[in-house]
Structure 1
Amino acid sequence: MDDSDSDTQQETDDYYTFLNIARNATDDEINNAYRRLSRLYHPDKHTDLQRKKEAEILFSKTKKAYEVLSDPHMRAIYDNLGSKGLETQGWEIVQRTKTPHEIREEYERLAREREERRLQQRTNPKSSVTMTVNATELFNIYDEDSDYFDLRDLVGMPHIEISGMSLSQSIEAPLTNQDTAILSGNLSSHNGNGSGALSCSLRKVTSEKGWGELEVGAGNGLSLTAKGFRNFSRGVFGNCSVLTHFSPTGLRIGTVATIANQLDKHTVGYLTWKAGLQSGMNTMIIRDTTNLHLVASLYFGIPHTYAALSYTHKMPERESKLKLTGKAGTFGVMFEYGAEKKVSKNSSLAANLSIGIPTGVQLKLKLHRASQTYATTILLCEEIMPAPIIYGTVVPLVGWLAMHKLIITPYLRKQKQTELMKQREGNKARLTEMRRQAFAAIDLMRETVRRIVDQEEAKKGLVILSAWYGQLISEEAIDEEDSKAAETMMDVTIPLQCLVKDSKLILQESSKSGLPGFYDSCPGEDKSLRVRYLFHAVTHQVTIKDDESLRIPKQSHRLDT
């Protein structure tokens, strides 16, 4: 059994249900339940080698449940953290006088140590590819009387070129929970002119309220940057960075400082000041809720001053977003609208059309997948004209509909089917083993159940006529031994009769799949338990949900004859 299977098994272990006792059971109730199951499953009671082997497995599980619940220290760990908490490395050093709250704190401390060891084996790579395409000839109107001649006019092919491209990559290497090393680099080219830079930084978390970072970079000269973040009080925080750039033209120093205030649960206000390499001041308010994301900003600086407003409408049920942005200032005016759609668990597509003066009409496409971003900006026209606006709006929409129907939907459907098949295959082996254990337990119960039934019949007590557990279907299908009934239900008449004591049967408020002789035949699905029984020679019947408690006999279960 691999690690994932063992984890699943640990998560499904419910010692209280296995012993059929309440979570607040007393020591006497735990001891009585243990003795009852021990007599049933003790290996020395069986001479057949196969039955003896099955009894050893169930007796071991009974003993484990008793050891945990009878020990106050281990029971506190189990109640707080489940069976997985009992396996945490380092529990041997925990004082047995600790309270449940202290136990949880100790578990979290040990978990942090494990996480710190795992961090040293992880990196967090991020990359982005950005491309700029000049496609203005698609919508240029040529003067037919012009003496200008181009061979492309004969074949009707407009000239489209990639005018710029940039690549960036970064890798984070956590050294400890407080220290992270970051290596990043970028290359860019625009209209034949290229540049690049490489930087390395070390970030250290100094306390719960702040961190500091030192970065060394090389590109067009050497650069040194110091950054810091500080949480001053509840809802008030800020950061600051100082850049020193040693370029061929001389030493340049720049500073950026930001102070932020949490105005309410969903709104944050920012004030940013820049000096040196750039000079200016920006104030910004961001409001983010389940259904909207609103950003309003005002910037005063050199060479431009502007005001901007951006509104994003979120549609979580459709995994989509609609965005509107307006910006106006000394540079001109810009209006942008677009949409973003999540196409898979880790991927999303976005398309935005930008209309502005003097920027013209631009179509922006972006694909974000996990930690990778691919962005393309297509310059459709340097002037504002109806044709590029219409095409820039309609073509991405039609393209998305076609791609969604022809590529994305079939791919996601196939991926889902593949994952479902893998899940079924993975569960198949586990369910087969659980089913085998359940029927082995039932086989070990038969002799005991015969004695219980004889005793109950002699005093006209409680006799279980039939009991079915799982996704219940019609009684006719059960009587006809329908194949579907065999897959989604199991006969638990013997396990329930085995739990009868003094003409009473009590089941606790938990999933019945943890009871001896039971198993979950349909994980993740709603299940029920249907019981038909005799009491005082009168037939009774009751059906309950999987996690409901049950006490029988009851007068309300009586069937009218």
Structure 2
Amino acid sequence: MGWWRRSGGVDGPAVHDDLSSDDKAAMRVRKREVVVEAAVIGGLVAVQFVYAANSVLLSYLMSLGLNPLTLVVFSALATFLVLSPVAFVFERSLWPKKFDLKLLVKLVLISFGGVTMFQTLFLKGIKLTSATMATAMPNLAPGLIFLIAWIVRFEKVNIGCLYSKVKIVGTLLCVVGALTMSLLHSTAANASEMSSSSSSSSPANTVFNKDKIIGCLYLMAAVFILSSIVVLQASALGHFPAPISLCSITSLIGVFTTAAVQLFEDHGFDLNWSIMSFGHLVGFSILAGLIGGSCVSFNGWAMKKRGPVLVSMFSPISTVCTVLLSVFTLGETIKLGSLAGMFLMFTGLYLVLWAKGKEGPPESGDRQESEPDVEKPLLKAGNGHRFPTRAALIRHLTLQKPLNPSNRIPKPRGAGLRKILEVVNAWSSRNCSLVMDEEVTGPPSRELYALLHVSPEATEEEIRRAYRQWAQVYHPDKYQDLQMKEVATQNFQRICQAYEILSDETKRQIYDIYGMEGLNSGLELGPRLSKAEEIKEELERLRRKKEQEKHLMHFRPSGTILTNLSFPHLLDGHGFVRGMAMTTEYQSQISKNNTLALNGNLAVAENSGGRAGSILLKHDISPVASAEFMVTFGLHSLAGMQTTHHLSNHATATMGLAISLQDGSFNLTNAWTRQLSDTANGNIQLVLGRESSIGVGWRKEDKKMSSSGEIKFGTSYFGASANCAWRFSSKSHGCIGGKVGSTALEFEVGGGRKISKFSTVRALYTIGIKGISWKVELHRSGQKLIIPILMSRHLNPLFAAGAFVVPTSVYFVLKKYFLKPYFLKREKQKALDNMEKTSAEVQEARKAVERAQKLLENVANRKKNKQLEVGGLVVTGAKYGNLKNTGRSEELGLDSELASQVIDVTLPLNFLVSDAGQLKLHEGVRKSGIMGFCDPCPGVPKQLHVQYTYGGRNFEVTVNDCEELSIPREAHRI
């Protein structure tokens, strides 16, 4: 009652006025904890009710004779569709950059075992036994996981330890309980004796029901497979630390493995059931995926708040709920022997969970949230027994947190002007398309920042402080040896030059735009340009002049050739080519403010065709407004105009009017575009005319990902579309998209690869109401060749799977045995030529690095010893250079000398560790310019691999040359 009064009861206001601010804050924290606790407990109970209802529903569906494999295919597909957006939003930063063969094998095994085997056996077990048995049997999982992990040495067991003994006893109780429940649940009275027992007092003869015993064996096998898969997944999470993404990928792979099993077993796919329509099955699968995905998300949140042990302790509730639902809905009878077996299983489960909870306490007592034990993830899947989304396989959610909060970087002086200059410099080289060619080059003019180890946005005070730090190390007066003094003098001169340029605002601005070449060649903007406004105005004048020259020089052609191919038409004897279309456009800057574009297109489809041409003139009225005039002639002749006005720095409005020259009808178009963030914008479009419509769209583009979406409603149609593309590397990308509406329903997935400096190849697989097709594209500069190939007009699951798997497999075979060896041979020759050309330069740079590191050695070792004493950050190993070729020397056929295009940078990184035990290398700065570094392989992409210890634990991370490095981080933990 006292707490209630302090929280606002009858005496609350009087007491509340006397409380200090700290007491009020503590009171709010306690209230919040009570609310969170109630939400966790209530939500976990609700989740178990959902699992129980799902098990009862599955039992009913199995009793109707539904094929388990078919249900597995649809449910796994629904799981993928529900979880993949969640994984993409929250876990894409955790995705590995490269999927090696070992990880792919693990994913296939997890898919086949966790989706195909586990769920199929689980459903067959439900069909032969009951929903009660199906929900009770997975309580074996924690004990079996512990046993399997012990066998494969993932879990250490000390027989002399009390908690290890308790876990062993709990596992035995789980097994004994499962056997007891299975045997006693499988007993049935002999029919002949049952008839005579009505007139006789003798007991009926008891026999075992063969089907129920087989069903129990199915369930036990399913739980054993699940436990093995959880252990395997614990190993896979070390290389792929994204559990929801892992479940999503394995669900998709499981769709194909299950479909293959069904094809092998049933010799086809039968979607015509009298017991259940195809639409009802799809609806049930989507509903199961949505509910299952919500339960998975809530379990992950609850595990983050209160730990995996509490989440697993609620699993028996679903068994109890299933018992009650089965009795009242399906009319099942519960036997006393089954209840006894359940009691033994629950006792063993709680013993294992209790021992696990006592064995893995939190590492620090100041955590507000109970985080899962990262080193012992194997018991976090104790209650993953419901069928559609396999919660047991994704309940090891671990929260990736940095060991230390990131420091706030103070806002630099003059940052606005430098931002303008950077935008001007990047204007001519920007490229937002994932398909267009892009050179992989780092940011220019950053060597001086790397030399002083400061950010490009550093303030004058930060630059001065960095200069003093380096001057204390490299000042020549500190060294008596003549050779050391000479080395120190050379490095001290470099530091002084960097400080002189970066501390002068005018020189720094010129360096940021033009680099050292601008300073050395006298590109200062004149002595009169002493103010930032004058510098900005002069740079804008130079930018406009460069832009005009570029536009006047280029006559930009572009074109598209599209060829429609069709296998159904070929089989019907109508030819392989269905139609062709060609579009050509020429655009030229005819004057300072005018642009002329000529466009023509031709299309042929079977026995009909069409052509059209257009002329467009664009006039820039002012820097913020433009007008376009267009005339189109052909089958549909049009005349129109359009004006565009920039309302602000983030908003644009467009209005257009088009009139038909045939019937006089017109269309009025209004569009508004708004920049939502640095990488995203949205638009609204309104069309009034014969086909009036309104549409809302958005688009987001950044370095790794590009996505867009649109919803449109018209007088006679509606539709929605979404597309997403992300870059796997500098040469390859993947994309996924979909359309739904009154005239379209399709799903598209594919990818592309850059095969040369100007050429990109893409392949897209499409499935929808119009059929199944592949689309192959070749992009070269502004030209495109697009070849859609219709594979089938009908949606057959078997054919759809084959149409996707066979071409994909052919591509991977060609890549592995033909394309990759060819490109490796070319890469080998390029590496040899490049090393021969730069060998003298690299050798000289290595000698300079050795001398520079020798001067850093004393201070670096002193910092390292200090960090060792306090258990702080210590860099144990660091390599910089062409790490890809280092690991592939055997594959490339290079000897050890040629393949070792790396240098050891352990010592300079230890020198850069701060007194607080942190190390940060700034983004956008090439690491070859850091003191103690050099470029060991000019012209080749470089990486930095760092191994370090923090708090007695080992960490490891690899970053690209211009990528930010901030350590320590929990995500780097081995």
1:180-195 paired onto structure 2 within 5 Å: 180-195=595-610
Mark the CA change 1:62 to 1:407 in structure 2 (over 3 Å): closer, same or farther: closer
SS class of match (2:944): coil
More displaced 10-residue stretch of structure 1: 395-404 or 236-245: 236-245
CA contact under 8 A between 1:88 and 1:110: conserved in structure 2?
Answer: no
Structure 1 equivalent of residue 463 of structure 2 = 23
Structure 1 equivalent of residue 626 of structure 2 = 211
Q: What is the distance in 1 between the residues matched to 2:594 and 2:447? A: 37
CA contact under 8 A between 2:694 and 2:712: conserved in structure 1?
Answer: yes
Structure 2 equivalent of residue 86 of structure 1 = 519
State the shift of 1:341 in Å: 1.6
Structure 2 equivalent of residue 478 of structure 1 = none
Deviations 1:306-326 (A, max 9, x none): 222334466665943333333
Q: Which AA in structure 2 matches 1:167?
A: M
Q: Which AA in structure 2 matches 1:526?
A: L
Mark the CA change 1:8 to 1:61 in structure 2 (over 3 Å): closer, same or farther: farther
Deviations 1:332-357 (A, max 9, x none): x543223222233733221223425x
Mark the CA change 1:242 to 1:366 in structure 2 (over 3 Å): closer, same or farther: farther
Task: Select the residue among 130, 137, 143 that pairs with 2:562.
Answer: 130
Q: What is the distance in 2 between the residues matched to 1:64 and 1:70? A: 10
Q: What is the distance in 2 between the residues matched to 1:69 and 1:78? A: 8
Structure 2 equivalent of residue 284 of structure 1 = 695
CA contact under 8 A between 1:223 and 1:244: conserved in structure 2?
Answer: yes
State the shift of 1:399 in Å: 1.4
CA contact under 8 A between 2:651 and 2:672: conserved in structure 1?
Answer: yes
Task: Select the residue among 546, 553, 576 that pairs with 1:121.
Answer: 553
Q: What is the distance in 1 between the residues matched to 2:930 and 2:726? A: 43
Q: Which AA in structure 1 matches 2:752?
A: K
Tell me the TM-score normalized by structure 1: 0.57
State the shift of 1:270 in Å: 2.8
Structure 2 equivalent of residue 295 of structure 1 = 710
State the shift of 1:97 in Å: 1.7
Q: What is the distance in 2 between the residues matched to 1:379 and 1:31? A: 69
Q: Which AA in structure 1 matches 2:528?
A: Q
State the shift of 1:368 in Å: 4.9
Structure 2 equivalent of residue 74 of structure 1 = 507
CA contact under 8 A between 2:617 and 2:630: conserved in structure 1?
Answer: yes
Structure 1 equivalent of residue 670 of structure 2 = 258
CA contact under 8 A between 1:34 and 1:66: conserved in structure 2?
Answer: no
Q: Which AA in structure 1 matches 2:621?
A: T
Tell me the TM-score normalized by structure 2: 0.36
Mark the CA change 1:310 to 1:168 in structure 2 (over 3 Å): closer, same or farther: same
Q: What is the distance in 1 between the residues matched to 2:516 and 2:554? A: 28
CA contact under 8 A between 2:628 and 2:643: conserved in structure 1?
Answer: yes
State the shift of 1:210 in Å: 3.5
CA contact under 8 A between 2:901 and 2:936: conserved in structure 1?
Answer: yes
Structure 2 equivalent of residue 321 of structure 1 = 735
Deviations 1:347-379 (A, max 9, x none): 3221223425xxxx4636242525443334556
Count how many residue pairs are aligned between Structure 1 and Structure 2.
445
State the shift of 1:116 in Å: 3.4
Identical-residue share of aligned pairs (%): 16
Are 1:310 and 2:310 counterparts? no
Q: What is the distance in 1 between the residues matched to 2:521 and 2:528? A: 15
Structure 2 equivalent of residue 197 of structure 1 = 612
Structure 1 equivalent of residue 752 of structure 2 = 342
1:154-553 paired onto structure 2 within 5 Å: 158-174=573-589, 179-219=594-634, 224-232=639-647, 237-243=652-658, 252=664, 254-260=666-672, 262=674, 268=682, 270-275=684-689, 279-288=690-699, 293-300=708-715, 305-312=716-723, 319-328=733-742, 334-344=744-754, 346-355=760-769, 361=771, 363=773, 365-370=775-780, 371-377=782-788, 385=794, 391=799, 394-407=802-815, 410-411=818-819, 414-415=822-823, 418=826, 422=830, 425-426=833-834, 429-430=837-838, 432-433=840-841, 435-436=843-844, 471=879, 488-489=902-903, 519-521=934-936, 524-526=942-944
Q: What is the distance in 2 between the residues matched to 1:79 and 1:263? A: 27
State the shift of 1:180 in Å: 3.1
SS class of match (1:394): helix
More displaced 10-residue stretch of structure 1: 290-299 or 412-421: 412-421
State the shift of 1:230 in Å: 2.8
Q: What is the distance in 1 between the residues matched to 2:657 and 2:944? A: 59
Mark the CA change 1:366 to 1:241 in structure 2 (over 3 Å): closer, same or farther: farther
Q: Which AA in structure 2 matches 1:524?
A: K
Mark the CA change 1:339 to 1:90 in structure 2 (over 3 Å): closer, same or farther: same
More displaced 10-residue stretch of structure 1: 368-377 or 121-130: 368-377
Q: What is the distance in 2 between the residues matched to 1:231 and 1:309? A: 28
CA contact under 8 A between 1:135 and 1:159: conserved in structure 2?
Answer: no
Mark the CA change 1:122 to 1:267 in structure 2 (over 3 Å): closer, same or farther: closer
Deviations 1:467-500 (A, max 9, x none): xx9849xxxxxxxxx9699974589x9xxxxxxx
Q: Which segments of 5 or more consecutive residues in structure 2 lack a partner in the other structure?
A: 1-438, 454-460, 481-485, 856-876, 881-895, 908-919, 947-960, 966-974
Q: Which AA in structure 1 matches 2:809?
A: L
Q: Which AA in structure 2 matches 1:24?
A: R
SS class of match (2:754): coil
CA contact under 8 A between 2:450 and 2:927: conserved in structure 1?
Answer: no
Q: What is the distance in 2 between the residues matched to 1:353 and 1:386? A: 8
Mark the CA change 1:14 to 1:187 in structure 2 (over 3 Å): closer, same or farther: same
CA contact under 8 A between 2:775 and 2:787: conserved in structure 1?
Answer: yes
Structure 2 equivalent of residue 496 of structure 1 = none
CA contact under 8 A between 2:445 and 2:514: conserved in structure 1?
Answer: no
Q: What is the distance in 2 between the residues matched to 1:22 and 1:264? A: 33
Mark the CA change 1:287 to 1:255 in structure 2 (over 3 Å): closer, same or farther: closer
State the shift of 1:282 in Å: 0.9
Mark the CA change 1:27 to 1:288 in structure 2 (over 3 Å): closer, same or farther: closer
Mark the CA change 1:231 to 1:438 in structure 2 (over 3 Å): closer, same or farther: same
Q: What is the distance in 2 between the residues matched to 1:94 and 1:185? A: 53
Q: Which AA in structure 2 matches 1:122?
A: H
Q: What is the distance in 1 between the residues matched to 2:675 and 2:845? A: 58
CA contact under 8 A between 1:181 and 1:202: conserved in structure 2?
Answer: yes
Mark the CA change 1:256 to 1:385 in structure 2 (over 3 Å): closer, same or farther: same
SS class of match (2:546): helix
Q: What is the distance in 1 between the residues matched to 2:552 and 2:830? A: 31
Q: Which segments of 5 or more consecutive residues in structure 1 lack a partner in the other structure?
A: 41-45, 47-56, 141-157, 444-448, 450-468, 473-481, 494-508, 529-545, 549-561
Q: What is the distance in 2 between the residues matched to 1:386 and 1:274? A: 37
